[in-house]
Each structure stands twice: as structure tokens, then as C-alpha cells.
A = this chain, B = another copy of it.
Amino acid sequence: VSETPHEPLVRRLLEGDRAALARVLTLIDRRPAEAAAIDALLARRTGRAGTIGITGAPGAGKSTLVGSLLKSAVRRNDRVAVLALDPKSPFTQGAVLGDRLRMEHTTADERVFVRSMTAETRAGGLALATPFAIRALDAAGWPWVLIETVGVGQTEFDIVEAATTTVVVMTPGTGDEVQSVKAGLMEMADVFVLNKADRDGASCARLDIERAVHHLPASAWKPPVVETVASEDRGTDGVWDAIARHRKHLIDSGEMVRRQQRLLRLALHGLIDADLQQRTNSLLASDEFSSVLSHLQSGDCDLGGATRDLLARLLRT
């Protein structure tokens, strides 16, 4: 059996070669169609990493917290990879976050690996590429993968939720607690971080969060509330302690297997969506589509009927 073109690359990735890892992540980001083929080569080496999704309202200080978590990890001699998800909007062009994080770590510390993913949101790019990127980092031996998002769209929300540990960041006095309950954030949090905890209202905010947690259905894991002032690197070690305790709980309770299934589920969903989107794009570019449009405009058929005809053709191809 001959080697696929990706085999030597993946072999180097599995041996811990950073350049090979970077190259694989670029392939996944730029050519998501090849992601499944690459994944097949490294799937057996996945399942060991703890993935940490960082979420919270804009302005809660997520980026500062991630920067502080990296410094704390290096102090503790832990190894951490960061995936900064930065959906491209027509106005931002993406890639802001990863560049900034990378700049802060120009020393190229061997214990840190920072990567931004800027796939086009339209093509479902992030939803498709991110689960594969997480699995590649896992297979490359990174024990922790931090996932930070710039956007707060549904895609980024799903990805954060697919982490094995979800960290929800809040700040005192902003009403974040109420918003978060509405947004369903309370239910998905494994660890709460009360950032900017030196501000007025921190103790009230802590009480609000604890009260909200108290109202959730009872479970074996009680999400702790960790106070930080990330801009001054205060409290961040405590966040790592809480994350590590949660990971141990997942492994001991057998819940880890279910969490890793969420990531596979997201990867499958991404692959299915990408295929359907490709079929749809071909259909939109077809002569039959143009002809249906003309019939619609002249009133010869209606949108419901036109949709049924076009779908029948799409499903046949």
C-alpha cells in the first residue's frame, strides 16, 4: 500500500515536530476537504488532551485572561496550545487575535503554541476546521488546548461548548449574570471566572453566580467560581487548579468519553454541512437554476414549487 501524501507530515507531527504541526493546521484551515484524510492518520493518537473553551460577553476580558493563563502555565512548567478562533467578517479580515497573542510570546517558548484560525464563516469554515485542529493538537501531544473566540456567533458558541472544560468569564456590575442565564451560559459552565474582581460589586456578582448555579439541576460537579484580575496576573493559577480538578472529575466519572464525542459530533456535522454547501453552490451556478429564476420572475411558478424542484435535483446528484 502506497503512502498518502500526508503520511510523512503526520508522522513528524506525532513525533512532536512543531513545524509539521503548523503545516497540518494550515492544511486543515485552508483545505478543509483534506481534513478528514489527515484526521484518519492521527485519530488513534487522540483522546488525551483537555480542551478548554473560554467564553463570556464581549468586554469580560477573555483575551487578557488567556494571556495570563499562558504565563501561569509557563510558570508551572505546563504545556499549552491556544486556538484563537477569529471568524472573518467583511470588515475585520480576521487574524487580529492570533497575531496579538503571538506577539506577546515572541520568545517562542517551547511550552506554548499559539495558532489563530480565520476560516471564512460563510463556508462553515470554522465549524469544519476547528474540531480537526483540536484533534491534531491532541495527537501532537499537547496536554491542554485553550480555545478562545473573538466572535460570539453560534458557531463559536458550539465550538466552545464542545470543549471538555468550558470556562465562562464574567465581570462584576455589568449584569452579565442575568444575560448569561438568558443565553444558557450558566448551564454550560464547568468553571466560572469572575474577572476584574477588584471592582465594586465583586462579592454581589459572586453571590449572584452561586445562586444561579444553585438553581441548576443537581449534578456531581459543582462549577467553582474563581476570582481573577487577569490584567495583573492575579488569581490565574486558581483557574488552572479548577480546570485540572474538573478534568480529573471527567475522567473519574467516565464523562470524558461523552465530552470527546461532542467534538466528533461537531466534526461530522461540519463535514456534512460542507458537502451540502458544495452541492448547493453547484446548483446555484447551474443552468437549471437560472431557468427557474426566469420562470419565477415571469410568474410561471412560485417559490415553494421552485424549491421542491431544485431540491429534488440537488438530492439526485
Q: Are B121 and A307 in contact (CB under 8 A)?
A: no
**A44 is an interface residue with CB less than 8 A from chain B:** yes
Q: Are B292 and A268 in contact (CB under 8 A)?
A: yes
What are the residues of chain B within 8 A of A269 when measuring CB–CB? 280, 284
Please tell me which one of the listed residues B121, B183, B304, B314 contacts residue A40 in the complex, with CB atoms under 8 A apart.
B304
C-alpha spacing A92/B57, complex, angstroms: 9
**A154 is an interface residue with CB less than 8 A from chain B:** yes
Count chain A residues whose beta carbon lies closer than 8 angstroms to a beta carbon of B: 56
Q: Are B302 and A272 in contact (CB under 8 A)?
A: no
Number of copies: 2
C-alpha spacing A120/B157, complex, angstroms: 13
What are the residues of chain B within 8 A of A303 when measuring CB–CB? 36, 39-40, 43, 264, 267-268, 271
The winner among A93, A182, A269 for most chain B CB atoms within 10 A is A269
> Which residue of chain B has its CB nearest to the CB of A176?
B91
What are the residues of chain B within 8 A of A264 when measuring CB–CB? 293, 296-297, 303
Q: A37-B304, A260-B297 are in contact. Are A122 and B268 (CB under 8 A)?
A: no
CB distance from A20 to the nearest CB of B (A): 20
C-alpha spacing A7/B302, complex, angstroms: 16
Q: Are A280 and B272 in contact (CB under 8 A)?
A: yes
Q: A40-B304, A153-B153, A264-B297 are in contact. Are A91 and B58 (CB under 8 A)?
A: yes
Pick 20 A–B contacts, CB within 8 A, sort by A. A36-B303, A36-B304, A39-B302, A39-B303, A40-B304, A57-B91, A58-B91, A90-B152, A92-B152, A93-B183, A121-B154, A257-B297, A261-B293, A265-B284, A265-B293, A268-B303, A272-B280, A275-B307, A276-B280, A315-B315
Extra pairs beyond A43-B302, A93-B179, A268-B289 (6, CB < 8 Å): A39-B303, A57-B91, A90-B157, A268-B292, A271-B307, A272-B311
